[in-house]
């Protein structure tokens, strides 16, 4: 009855419904409950595992995890082709297209379902950066990739980590606020929402919080909000990791040619990561 009524409502708008693309999602073991009273097959195909609604898989946890993995894998599949275009165009595609595509999924899906897929996606982005710069992937590249451009990084955030968890929590809070204010008839259903698991990702947020608690960063402005201090601590932790690597290897310049090349093309100057008179790594123009 509900499916037929849906067709009638849509038909009033002079649109046609393609029945082969329509599905009815039910709880496992309840397919027989939705058959027409007079017998026969349902108007829409009945599924028990899950469906994709507005690009987001819903259904059983296994279905959502597998589908998210497939979706994210498809997003990163064309990355190797970036070596065939100009580095400036490749960087623009990475920043505004490829690395931005998973953002929607991280907001509307539970983090523990997409963690493995996002880890693999971040690794693929790192490899694409190195391949575009015609160099090998190093720990420095993986770290600098996530730093903002104003700090000499590439401004390509990771999707496996606290930022994605925070986005998911913010999205849920926004939805809950809307239901509370405008759809109170749905508010009782929010009590059945599962808790969002956080904290089992790359650990950068919690590592940064430990750095703050131990006062390892002397010049950190304690008047800033806690979340801002955490971001700053993480950035400084990443830079110190780069310093430590250069001290151990005795190298005079970090293998970040793509930073110099892309910044030169975008801003008309070269941003170089180098040693200056025995002092730690700096960002200089020249």
pLDDT of residue 109: 92
Instruction: Out of 24-28, 70-74, 105-109, 280-284, give the one with best mean pLDDT.
Output: 70-74
CA 28 to CA 49: how far, in whole Å? 7
* Least confident window among 25-29, 187-191, 263-267: 263-267
| Residue 139 dihedral angles phi and psi, to the nearest 5° | -60, -35
| 10: CB partners within 8 A, 6+ apart | 16, 17
Question: Running DSSP on this structure, what letter comes out for residue 185?
Answer: G
Q: How many CB atoms lie within 10 A of CB 186?
A: 11
**CA–CA separation, 160 vs 106, rounded Å?**
9
C-alpha distance from residue 230 to each of 98, 200, 257 (Å)? 26, 17, 28
Give the residue carrying structure tokens 């990084």.
153
CA distance linking residue 133 with residue 254, whole number of Å: 13
**What's the pLDDT score for residue 219?**
60
Q: Is 1's pLDDT higher than 50?
A: yes
Q: Is the pLDDT of residue 206 over 60?
A: no
Q: What is the DSSP string of 143-168?
A: HHTTS-GGGTS-----SSSHHHHHHH
Q: What is the pTM of this model?
A: 0.70
Residue 78 pLDDT > 90: yes
The CA distances from residue 54 to 51, 58, 105, 106, 145, in Å, are 10, 10, 10, 14, 30
Q: Which of 15-29, 115-129, 134-148, 227-241 has the highest mean pLDDT?
A: 115-129
184 vs 174: CA distance, rounded Å: 14
Q: How confident is the model at residue 28 (pLDDT cuts 50, 70, 90)?
A: confident
Are β-strands 50-53 and 45-47 bridged in parallel, bridged antiparallel, or unpaired? unpaired
pLDDT score, position 27: 87
pLDDT at 227: 64
Contact 151, 235 (CB under 8 A): yes
Distance CA 208, CA 162 (A): 11
Domain-by-domain residue ranges, the chain? Answer: 1-48, 62-185+198-252
Quote the DSSP letter at residue 187.
G
């Amino acid at each position: 009855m509900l499916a037929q009524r849906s067709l009638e409502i849509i038909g009033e708008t002079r649109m046609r419904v393609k029945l082969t693309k329509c599905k009815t999602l039910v709880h496992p073991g309840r397919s027989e409950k939705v058959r027409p009273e007079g017998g026969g097959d349902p108007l829409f195909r009945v599924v028990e595992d899950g469906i994709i609604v507005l690009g987001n898989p819903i259904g059983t946890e296994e279905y959502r995890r597998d589908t998210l993995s497939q979706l994210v894998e498809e997003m990163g599949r064309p990355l190797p082709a970036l070596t065939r275009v100009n580095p400036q165009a490749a960087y623009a595609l990475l920043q505004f297209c490829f690395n931005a595509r998973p953002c929607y999924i991280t907001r509307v899906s539970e983090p523990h379902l997409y963690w493995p897929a996002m880890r693999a996606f971040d690794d693929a982005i790192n490899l694409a950066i190195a391949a575009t710069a015609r160099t090998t992937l190093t720990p420095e590249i993986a770290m600098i990739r996530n730093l903002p451009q104003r700090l000499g990084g590439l401004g390509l955030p990771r999707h496996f980590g606290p930022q994605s968890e925070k986005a998911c929590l913010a999205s849920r809070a926004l939805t809950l606020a809307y239901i509370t204010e405008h759809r109170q008839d749905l508010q009782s259903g929010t009590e059945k929402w599962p808790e969002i698991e956080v904290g089992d990702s790359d650990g950068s947020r919690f590592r940064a919080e430990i750095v703050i608690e131990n006062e390892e960063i002397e010049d950190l402005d304690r008047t800033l909000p806690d979340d801002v201090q955490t971001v700053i601590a993480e950035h400084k932790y990443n830079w110190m990791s780069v310093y430590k690597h250069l001290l151990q290897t005795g190298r005079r310049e970090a293998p970040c040619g793509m930073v110099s090349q892309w910044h030169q093309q975008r801003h008309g100057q070269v941003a170089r990561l180098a040693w200056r008179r025995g002092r730690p790594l700096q960002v200089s123009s020249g």
